[in-house]
Amino acid sequence: MLFLLSFLFFLANNGEAAVPCTTVDANAAACLGFATGMAAKPSDACCSGLRQLAQTVKSVNDKKAICRCLKVGAKSLGIQDRFLSMIPQACNIKVDFPVSVNTNCETIH
């Protein structure tokens, strides 16, 4: 459902099961209003959901899977890249790669 946080992928090792898109969607859903330009700032629920999502990351494969899920959602939901890229800073979430609908998920490490 979301795309949003092609970011929240910190902490990486290799090889574990990837985070399913249903988990990504559930945690990023509250960010849709801001990411589409309908809300002035990310909601507390948005930031909280993204922090929870970040805690599920156990491997590089998890980061890539979350990125892929978010990109699929971004295309179908009208996400605006300029708002998407603002979410990590607005939610005070550290991300180690550019947050964008144009991020190449396969280059995340």
Split into its structural domains, the chain has a count of 1
Q: How far apart (Å, rounded) are the C-alpha atoms in residues 107 and 83?
A: 22
**Domain presence at residue 10:** no
Q: How many percent of the chain have pLDDT more than 90? A: 56
Average pLDDT score, the chain? 84
* DSSP tag of 36: T
Let me know if residue 76 belongs to a domain: yes
What pTM was computed for the model?
0.79
Residue 3 placed within a domain: no
Q: Which residues of 66-87 are buried (b: 16+ CB within 10 A; e: fewer)?
A: bbbbbbbbbeeeebeeebbbbb
Is 43 inside any structural domain? yes
In a domain, 45, yes or no: yes
pLDDT beyond 90 at 107: yes
Residue scoring higher pLDDT (8 or 36): 36
Residues spanned by the domain of 88: 21-100
CATH code, domain with 27: 1.10.110.10
- Asked if residue 106 belongs to a domain, the reply is no
The yes-or-no verdict on residue 43 having pLDDT over 70 is yes
- What confidence category does residue 7 fall into, taking pLDDT thresholds of 50, 70 and 90? very low
Predicted local distance difference test score (pLDDT) of residue 32: 95
Q: State whether residue 28 is helix, strand or coil.
A: helix
**What is the structure's pLDDT at 78?**
87
- For residue range 48-90, list pLDDT tens digits in order: 999 999 898 889 999 999 999 888 888 788 899 999 999 999 9
Q: Which class for 13: exposed (0-12), middle (13-18), buried (19 or more C-beta within 10 A)? A: exposed
